[in-house]
């Protein structure tokens, strides 16, 4: 269960992350999950809040997107939209995508965090690769089906204990 417990838990979406705290803790790079973390699934629009937050991120951090999404065209479109490298078909929580992300960032694992909305993929995979993790909620702008919210909350029950 320790591998499911994130280094940091944010009771909000990515825009609620304190970037100064990450910087002060030695973080120089960020690996982002894509769907529900940066972007509403199957969407091609960045919210104004996320866009403004990412401008602040880029001042001090190197960034990369690591997605389990199998649609390479979709992930490549996100790469252009966000203007950052993106890796599709990551098969998180497997380590290879996280290792490839570290190579792109040209940073050691100790200087990187993984930011995502799923303990079983983002948090577990990040910890397996020796990277600190930040668990966020899905974007505030997303209206999910009730069954999806139920499973998200169920996953979070395992990390609170």
pLDDT at 138: 84
The residue among 34, 45, 33 whose CA lies nearest residue 123 is 33
Is the pLDDT reported for residue 13 higher than 80?
yes
The residue among 79, 49, 48 whose CA lies nearest residue 66 is 79
Could you tell me the pLDDT band of residue 1, with boundaries at 50, 70 and 90?
A: low
H or E stretch at 154: helix 146-160
- Say whether 62 sits in a helix, a strand or coil: strand
pLDDT at 57: 97
- Say whether 115 sits in a helix, a strand or coil: strand
Is the pLDDT reported for residue 147 higher than 90?
no
Is the pLDDT reported for residue 40 higher than 80?
yes
CA–CA–CA angle 39, 35, 57 (5° rounding): 55
Residues 53 and 86: beta-carbon distance below 8 Å: no
pLDDT at 74: 92
Domains of the chain with CATH codes:
2-160 (3.40.50.1000)
Report field, pTM of the whole predicted structure over 0.85: yes
What is the distance between the alpha carbons of residues 94 and 15, in angstroms, rounded to a whole number?
27
Is the pLDDT reported for residue 135 higher than 80?
yes
């Amino acid at each position: 269960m320790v591998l499911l417990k994130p280094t940091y838990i944010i009771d909000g979406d990515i825009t609620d992350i304190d970037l100064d705290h990450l910087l002060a803790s030695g973080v120089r790079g960020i690996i982002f999950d894509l769907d529900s973390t940066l972007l509403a699934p199957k969407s091609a629009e960045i919210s104004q809040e996320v866009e403004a937050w990412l401008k602040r991120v880029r001042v001090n951090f190197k960034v990369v997107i690591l997605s389990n999404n199998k649609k390479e065209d979709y992930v490549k479109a996100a790469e252009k939209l966000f203007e950052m490298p993106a890796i599709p078909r990551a098969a998180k929580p497997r380590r290879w995508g996280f290792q490839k992300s570290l190579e792109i960032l040209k940073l050691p694992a100790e200087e990187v965090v993984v930011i995502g909305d799923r303990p079983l993929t983002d948090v577990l995979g990040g910890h397996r690769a020796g990277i600190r993790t930040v668990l966020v909620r899905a974007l505030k702008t997303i209206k999910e089906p009730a069954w999806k919210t139920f499973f998200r909350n169920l996953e979070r029950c395992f990390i609170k204990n």
